[in-house]
């Protein structure tokens, strides 16, 4: 790419890569800057909902994912004492999507697929080890300053998309607030090769418990038999070294499902969980997408999927602006659509999902389970729930905003 880019994208996670790819495929010159020397490995996100698969399909990404990913047509909400409360079958909304299931694939297995396709685009350029440190903008351009292997460099473009994660430098440089809160409890994730399916667990399940809830996901890992990822809450006062000790991880795994043998743990990690939304998704010629714009807890897998929806919503509009087919005010529609949906949908439902799991009041626990059972008792109720949990409803809501 010899000419000056029209758009600079900061961040080579899934959202940044998809943004760059979609723009390049729509004849927009794009430069992607990534702080790290290579694609990073993130062991958290890895569940994809039907609308995300539909959006990525025209680029050949979804087909590539299916070569190694795990289809999850059914998933459960359980209680530690009562067992299965509800088992949902995404196949009941097969008339609404060509992908009536959740798809499990580690995020770090998705990003190489997107990058390979991006590198085939003559309109795109990708620079690793280029950390964005500052930016400025005028009425007609954005100037980005980056630390590079050759020293400090500046890059100019008509637009900048900050897709550089929850600690977004782009967001901080434009001084946009990040409203919300951080959960007191942290999350610990442990991955084991032990197979939970013979115990009645679907490939994705959520276990409510007032003392120690859990969430379980089967991932393909390096291939058969795959790996089971289990998430637990960590009390605020518990020291990280204790949480990640072999003894404490084993204690939590045994409490989840007791067995005589010790669990073989392949990976483990701990992280903080946030519920935050940027006060602005656009400031002049700078736009935010993905975790740079919003963060939420992972109960429901709305975070990465919401970022994917941001990316395709934004690029459909930004490409028109770059080609002179639309006024820049079209980008304000992106802001209204995606910010509204994040506040009304992603934040609300992810918070509700987590509180359903960790509810301590016996009366409220009973009410929660009764409500779920009532909704699951009719086809109309199940379809309504599945449209919300699969994010089909959120995409429809966004599209209705003008």
Q: Residue 136's closest CA among 106, 156, 163? A: 156
311 pLDDT above the threshold of 70: yes
- pLDDT at residue 96 above 60? yes
- The span from the CA of 144 to the CA of 191, in Å, is 39
- Full strand arrangement of the beta sheet holding 286-288: 124-127, 30-33, 7-10, 159-162, 286-288, 282-283
**What is the residue whose two structure tokens read 């690793």?**
128
Cα-based distances in Å from 180 to 24, 30, 183, 265, 355 = 34, 32, 10, 34, 16
Mean of pLDDT values over 92-107: 97
Bond preceding residue 225 cis, omega within 30 of 0? yes
> How much of the chain exceeds pLDDT 90, in percent?
97
Question: What are the residues whose beta carbons fall under 8 Å from the beta carbon of 194, sequence distance 6 or more?
Answer: 228, 259, 263, 264
Residues 36-67 have pLDDT tens digits of 999 998 777 799 999 999 999 999 999 999 99
Range in 58-67, 218-227, 241-250, 344-353 with the lowest mean pLDDT: 218-227
Overall average pLDDT of the 234-250 stretch: 97
- Band of pLDDT at residue 2, cut at 50, 70 and 90: low
Quickly list DSSP for 333-345: HHHHHHHHHIIII
E strands, 173-329, are 178-182, 186-192, 204-208, 214-219, 227-234, 265-271, 274-278, 282-283, 286-288, 294-295
Per-residue confidence (pLDDT) for residue 1, from 0 to 100: 47
What's the pTM?
0.96
Q: What is the pLDDT of residues 185-208, one digit of tens each?
A: 999 999 999 999 999 999 999 999
User: How much is the average pLDDT of 126-138?
Assistant: 98
Instruction: For residue range 345-366, list pLDDT tens digits in order.
Output: 999 999 999 999 999 999 999 9
Residues in the chain: 402
Contact yes or no for 278/24 (Cβ under 8 A)? no
Measured between alpha carbons, how far is 7 from 28 in angstroms, rounded to an integer? 8
């Amino acid at each position: 790419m010899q000419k000056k880019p029209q758009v600079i994208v900061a961040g080579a996670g899934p959202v940044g890569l998809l943004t760059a790819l979609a723009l390049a495929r729509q004849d927009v010159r794009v430069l992607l800057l990534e702080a790290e020397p290579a694609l990073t490995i993130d062991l958290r996100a890895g569940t994809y909902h039907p609308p995300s698969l539909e959006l990525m399909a025209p680029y050949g990404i979804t087909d590539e994912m299916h070569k190694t990913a795990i289809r999850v047509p059914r998933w459960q909400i359980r209680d530690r004492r009562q067992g299965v409360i509800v088992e949902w079958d995404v196949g009941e909304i097969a008339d609404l999507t060509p992908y009536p299931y959740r798809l499990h694939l580690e995020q770090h297995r998705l990003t190489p697929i997107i990058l390979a396709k991006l590198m085939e685009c003559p309109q795109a350029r990708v620079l690793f080890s280029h950390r964005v440190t500052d930016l400025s903008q005028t009425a007609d351009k954005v100037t980005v300053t980056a630390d590079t292997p050759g020293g400090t460099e500046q890059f100019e473009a008509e637009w900048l998309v900050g897709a550089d994660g929850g600690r977004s430098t782009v967001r901080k440089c434009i001084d946009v607030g990040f409203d919300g809160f951080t959960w007191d409890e942290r999350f610990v994730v442990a991955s084991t090769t032990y197979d939970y399916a013979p115990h009645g667990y679907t490939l994705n399940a959520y276990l409510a418990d007032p003392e120690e809830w859990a969430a379980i996901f089967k991932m393909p890992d390096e291939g058969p038999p795959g790996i089971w990822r289990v998430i637990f809450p960590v009390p605020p006062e518990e020291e990280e070294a204790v949480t990640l000790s072999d003894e404490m991880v084993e204690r939590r795994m045994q409490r989840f499902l007791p067995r005589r043998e010790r669990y073989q743990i392949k990976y483990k990690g701990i992280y903080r969980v946030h519920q935050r939304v940027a006060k602005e998704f656009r400031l002049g010629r700078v736009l935010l997408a993905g975790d740079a714009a919003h963060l939420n807890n992972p109960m429901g897998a709305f975070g990465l999927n919401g970022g994917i929806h941001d990316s395709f919503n934004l690029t459909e509009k930004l490409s028109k602006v770059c080609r002179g087919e639309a006024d820049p005010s079209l980008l304000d529609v992106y802001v209204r659509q995606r910010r509204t949906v994040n506040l009304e949908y992603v934040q609300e439902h992810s918070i509700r999902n987590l509180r359903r799991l960790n509810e301590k009041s016996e009366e409220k626990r009973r009410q929660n389970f009764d409500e779920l059972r009532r909704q699951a008792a009719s086809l109309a109720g199940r379809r309504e729930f599945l449209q919300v949990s699969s994010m089909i409803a959120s995409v429809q809501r966004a599209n209705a905003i003008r």
